Amino acid sequence: MLDTASLNKLLAQPQKIVITTHHKPDGDAMGSSLGLYNYLIQQGHHAKVIAPTDYPEFLSWMPGNGEVIIYTENIQQAADLIADADLIFCLDFNALNRINDMGELVRAAKAYKIMIDHHLEPEDFDDYRHWDINACATAQLVYDFIVNVLNNKSLINKDVATCLYTGIMTDSASFRLPNTTSTVHRVVADLIDAGAVNWRIHELVYNSASENRLRFLGHCLTNCMEILPEFNTAIIAVNKYDLKKYDVNTGDTEGIVNYALSIANIRLAAFIVERDGKVKLSLRSKGDFPANEICKLYFSGGGHRNAAGGQSSASLQEVIAQFKNILPEYKKLLIQ
């Protein structure tokens, strides 16, 4: 275990640091990792961000992106860095299975492990924890960690601010979710003052789609969406042939589930996709409906109340049927 004073003492000297985040990183995963990276390199630390898998083009522009190591593409280099590290920062996840094969490497590493995260039910693998489920994004917690734990607000430069802004913007669905408190807006105001160009970041993340991506979205909404009015639920299910036909890349499916949730009265939306030999579910909900409970109980997953994910080794049709079978159990919550 590490206390705050010992952590500050350690970080006062250059250290070998690995920063990692969950597989298939999203905007918060990459934004918080690169935000922390851009902070640490100013202090002379030897820091590296290792992403367990690749991530979408629309996240590949943040400062420091060129230095990111993708584990699946550089296994030996990543394993050596993990084994050799003095400190490993684990951002935006709290269970080692969220980083795939890297999990056992991190568990076995001699480094102090520091968890910065906002997901429920953390696993006990860390030596220091900056954890708050009320935070709208891990990037908000990285800001808080730099300002209030490390007392170094002055080192939040344009690069740090740009990355942290991206994390908060994406995880709060552009400042729309209920956890976007006045504190979040104050943090974001600080980040803009520190150099984050808010409108430009929005352009880079949200207005950078390919033509294929938009046509695929049209296909999903026109041909793949089923509304179940008796359960206030919408399902968008996509098979592997359509992914091929529309040349769908990493990240192209991100956010499509939100269109289903934008329908009035829909309280639960599911995006179910057949990919990489398994079926992946993304659930989104409104209000207090526990999307994460369904993912945890039935689809080996988890997440937040309003945004959760899971997977299954059954066929696409079986997963759709299983999902529909679960709904009656939640009918009361869905139709209130």
Instruction: Write out the residues near ligand 5GP by the rule CB under 6 A.
Output: 26, 119, 282, 301-304, 307-310
Q: How many residues of this chain interact with Mn ion, rule: CB under 5 A?
A: 4
309 binds, among Mn ion, ligand 5GP, none (CB under 5 to 8 A by kind): ligand 5GP
Out of 7, 11, 24, 28, point to the residue binding Mn ion (CB under 5 A): 28
Q: Closest distance between Mn ion and the C-beta of residue 26, in Å? A: 7
Q: Closest distance between Mn ion and the C-beta of residue 110, in Å? A: 28
Q: Would you say 28 or 54 has its CB closer to Mn ion?
A: 28
Q: Would you say 16 or 305 has its CB closer to ligand 5GP?
A: 305
Residue 138 interacts with Mn ion (CB under 5 A)? Answer: yes
In the structure encoding, which two tokens stand for residue 29, read together? 């995963």
Report the alpha-carbon distance of residue 312 to residue 318 in Å, rounded.
10
Q: Would you say 17 or 256 has its CB closer to ligand 5GP?
A: 256
Q: Closest distance between ligand 5GP and the C-beta of residue 295, in Å? A: 7
Out of 54, 86, 171, 254, point to the residue binding Mn ion (CB under 5 A): 171
What sign does the dihedral 316-290-262-255 (CA atoms) show? negative
308 binds, among Mn ion, ligand 5GP, none (CB under 5 to 8 A by kind): ligand 5GP
What ranges make up the beta strands (E) of the chain? 16-21, 46-51, 69-70, 87-91, 112-117, 128-131, 225-228, 233-238, 268-275, 278-285, 302-303, 307-312
- Region from 147-155, 168-176, 203-211, 314-322 binding Mn ion, contact rule CB under 5 A: 168-176
Residue 92 interacts with Mn ion (CB under 5 A)? Answer: yes
Residue 254 interacts with Mn ion (CB under 5 A)? Answer: no
Q: Would you say 92 or 274 has its CB closer to Mn ion?
A: 92
- Region from 134-142, 176-184, 249-257, 316-324 binding Mn ion, contact rule CB under 5 A: 134-142
Q: Closest distance between ligand 5GP and the C-beta of residue 164, in Å? A: 17
Q: Would you say 15 or 170 has its CB closer to ligand 5GP?
A: 170
Which contacts (CB < 8 Å, 24+ apart) does range 81-84 have?
A: 81/16, 81/18, 81/48, 81/50, 82/18, 82/50, 82/106, 82/109, 82/111, 83/108, 83/109, 83/110, 84/16
Q: Closest distance between ligand 5GP and the C-beta of residue 122, in Å? A: 11
Neighbours of 178 (CB within 10 A): 12
138 binds, among ligand 5GP, Mn ion, none (CB under 5 to 8 A by kind): Mn ion
Q: Would you say 163 or 220 has its CB closer to Mn ion?
A: 163
Which contacts (CB < 8 Å, 24+ apart) does range 43-49 have?
A: 43/11, 43/14, 43/155, 44/14, 45/11, 45/14, 45/15, 45/16, 45/17, 46/14, 46/15, 46/16, 46/17, 47/17, 47/18, 47/19, 48/17, 48/18, 48/19, 48/81, 49/19, 49/20, 49/21
Neighbours of 203 (CB within 10 A): 11
Report the alpha-carbon distance of residue 221 to residue 235 in Å, rounded.
10
**Residues near Mn ion, by CB under 5 A:** 28, 92, 138, 171
